[in-house]
Amino acid sequence: MNKEECFKEELKYIVDQDIKESLITMINAIPDYFFTIPASSTGKYHPSYAIGDGGLVRHTKAAVRMAYELFGIYKFPSRTKDLIIMALVLHDSVKKGYEKEEQYTRFDHPLLAVEFLKSHLKELSISKEDAEFVSSCIASHMGRFNTSDYSDVILPIPKTPEEKFVHMCDYLAARKVIDIHFDKNNNIVEE
């Protein structure tokens, strides 16, 4: 499986070469299961395009596309946009743990994704400050859905405009009322 090819279109949105190369490294390290599972095993929290084989990839692509579309009205600096895209690509990267250890989503998956990113820092071309920025966006991407009856973990709530933006993009990509069409290669179809 060519993991990088899976996010070829999303990688085109990134201007900074160091961020792009770092994201490619991270994409290639994402557990294989990520590329085949649905975004939601029950279908309760995601639209139909995010269900079934490859649904998590489509959800992730939708979240990145939401960001790309919203960058037209939210004026972030170019580097910030690149880091936001990196955070969105990685936000659910270990949704079921490092080795698909759970039937359902691990509630602490945002924190696991931060650990996952930090475990690869030596291989990346981004600064520690950039990694912290991406980590804070990933850790808080669940927004107000930061507690669970099934876990003692309390996830951080987004505080900065960038963290809130990442949460909003993930939230919109999970709304059943928003329909996005994909081709057989899981690329968004322009209509």
Look at residue 26 and give its three-state secondary structure: helix
Q: Is residue 190 part of a domain?
A: no
Alpha carbon distance 93, 160 (integer Å): 22
Cβ neighbours of residue 152 closer than 8 Å, sequence gap 6 or more: none
**Would you say residue 181 has pLDDT above 80?**
yes
Alpha carbon distance 171, 90 (integer Å): 15
Cβ neighbours of residue 103 closer than 8 Å, sequence gap 6 or more: 41
Alpha helices in 30-160 (DSSP H): 55-70, 78-90, 109-119, 128-139
Q: Is residue 124 part of a domain?
A: yes
Choice between 45 and 75, residue whose per-residue pLDDT is larger: 75
Sign of the Cα torsion 103, 39, 19, 185 reads: positive
Asked if 182 and 56 count as a contact pair (C-beta separation under 8 A), the reply is no
pLDDT 10s digits, 129-179: 999 999 999 999 999 999 998 889 999 999 999 999 999 999 999 999 998
Q: Is residue 68 part of a domain?
A: yes
Let me know how long the chain is: 191
> 43-47, 71-75, 112-116 — which is least confidently predicted?
43-47
Query: Residue 191's pLDDT band (boundaries 50, 70, 90)?
Result: confident
Q: How many CB atoms lie within 10 A of CB 171?
A: 16
Q: Write down the pTM of the prediction.
A: 0.95
**Would you say residue 187 has pLDDT above 70?**
yes
Nearest residue to 78 via CA among 16, 7, 130? 16
With b for 16 or more beta-carbon neighbours within 10 A and e for fewer, the 48-75 pattern comes to ebbbeebbbbbbbbbbbbbbbeebeeee
**Number of independent structural domains in the chain:** 1
Alpha carbon distance 182, 174 (integer Å): 15
**Would you say residue 33 has pLDDT above 70?**
yes
Q: How many CB atoms lie within 10 A of CB 96?
A: 21
Instruction: Find the domain containing 87 and state its range.
Output: 3-173
Structure tokens that stand for 86 in this block: 């990196």
Q: Is residue 180 part of a domain?
A: no
Q: Is residue 184 part of a domain?
A: no
Q: Is residue 27 part of a domain?
A: yes
pLDDT 10s digits, 82-133: 999 999 999 999 999 888 776 678 899 999 999 999 999 999 999 999 999 9
